[in-house]
Structure 1
Amino acid sequence: MAKIHPLSSSPMSVVARREIYTVWMKSLVFNSNGCTIYDSDGRIAYRVDNYDCKCSDEVYFMDHSGKTLLKVLRKKFRLFGRWEGFRYNSAKIEEEKPWFRVEKSCRIPRTGHSSEITVEAGCGKCYKIVRWANKLEYRIEDEDGRIVAEIKRKQTASGIALGEDVLTLVLEPDVDHLLIMGLVVVCGLINHIM
C-alpha cells in the first residue's frame, strides 16, 4: 500500500473528455530504461527515459518534445520506499516542496488477489489505486468510488493481447492527467519494470 500526499497547489492539467493512451514500457533511447506513451492517433505524447538503470532514484517525465513536466525522486532511508514528485514550469521546478509523495507499505497481498494503494493528491482530493494479481494492470478510483483511470494489457481489435509491456491507459474526463501519468511512472518504479 502506498500513500500520495499533496504538498503544493499547482494548477491542474485536466482532461476535458475521455482519452485513451498506449503505454509501451520501453524507452525510445537505445540501451535505456523507461516508457513511451502514445495518444489515440499514434503520436508520442509523453516519455520517460531513464539513462541510468532500472528503478533509478531520479526519473524525468517529459512531453513529446523532451520538455520536462515532472521529476520523480526515490528517497532513501525508508524501509519500504518513498517517491516524491515535483512539477516543472518553464524548465525549472515550480516549488522546492514536492507536489506529491508516494509511500510503499509493508503490506503484501496474497497471490492471486488485488491490493490497494491509497492516494491523497492535488487540492485535497483522494484516490485509490486497485491493483490486480498482474502487477501491470490496475485502476484508479476517486473518493466516491468512480473509476478515473484504468490501465490494462492492450488488445487488438480481434481481442488478441499484445506483449506484457504494451498497455492501454484510459483516462476519464475531469482528471488531472499529469498526476495520473505520474502515478503510472511511480507504479512502474515500484514494480521494477522501468
Structure 2
Amino acid sequence: MAKVHPNRVDSDLPATSAPAAAYGTGGEGAAVLTVWRKSLLLNFDGFTVFDAKGDLVFRVDNYASGSRWEVVLMGAAGEPLLTIRRKKLSLGEHWLVYEGEGGDRPRFSVKKHANVLQGKALAQVTRCGLDAEGGGTYEVEGSYARRCCAVYDEQRRVVAEIKRKEATGGVRFGGDVFRLVVQPGFDAAVAMAIVVLLEQMFG
C-alpha cells in the first residue's frame, strides 16, 4: 500500500501564534504540501497536511465534534491558526475566515459561485479589513471533485493549485490524498483554508 508520508507527529511541537506563510518552499520555489482528507483522531473527519519533508504542518479535526458551521484550521501542535465560519442569514453559501480562534473582524470573505453558467468558477475570495490593503479579490476555478483547481489573483496569476498526487510507480491515491501547491508570497494557511471551504461547498 502506498504511504502518504512516513514521518511521525511529535506531541511536543512548539506552538506558534501566527499562520506560516510558506511551508516547505525551499527558498524561492513554491510550497508543495500533501493533503490527506483524514483526521489524526479516530472517528473524526478532517484533514492532515504534510510538507515536502513529510512533517505535519496543518490539521483539521473538528468536523464530527461540532457544527459544520464552524471549522478551525490548526497548526501541527493543535494551535488555532484560522477559524472558518459560515455566515448565517445570507443568500447562497457565504463564509468568513478569522485569525486564530475567531473574533469580530474577518480576514477573508468567501462566497460560492451560484451561477452554473460561469463554468469552472467555484468561489470568490475577498480580503477584509487590513488584509484588503495588500490586494482585493481571488477567484477559485476548476473542479474540486477531480482535485484540479487553481486560485487566481486579480492579475490572473496562479497563487495556489490543487492537484492529484501520484505515488511511486504511478499508482493513484484517489481523491483522499492530493497536492496543494502554494506560490511564494501567498499564505499557505489561507490556501489550506480555501481547501477546507471547497470541501464544505463541494465535498
Q: Same fold (TM over 0.5)?
A: yes
Amino acid at match of 1:59: V
CA contact (8 A) 1:132 1:138 kept: yes
Structure 1 or 2: larger strand share? 1
Q: Deviations over 1:60-115 (max 9, x none)?
A: 10000000011111122224221111102xxx54x5211111122321258xx523
Amino acid at match of 1:75: K
Gap runs ≥5 in structure 2: 1-17
Q: Which residue of the partner structure matches residue 114 of structure 1? A: 120
CA-CA distance at 1:158 after TM superposition: 3.2
Q: How does 1:6-155 map to 2 (within 5 A)?
A: 13-15=20-22, 17=28, 18-52=30-64, 56-88=68-100, 93=102, 95-108=103-116, 114-121=120-127, 122=131, 123=133, 124-132=135-143, 134=145, 136-155=147-166
So what's the TM-score if we normalise by structure 2?
0.76
Q: How many residues align?
A: 176
Q: Which residue of the partner structure matches residue 175 of structure 2? A: 164
Change in Cα spacing, 1:129 to 1:96, as seen in structure 2 (3 Å) is same
Gap runs ≥5 in structure 1: 1-10
CA-CA distance at 1:129 after TM superposition: 1.0
Q: Which residue of the partner structure matches residue 193 of structure 2? A: 182
Q: Deviations over 1:112-151 (max 9, x none)?
A: x523433222333332211237353201122222211111
So what's the TM-score if we normalise by structure 1?
0.79
Distance 1:65 1:185 in 2: 19
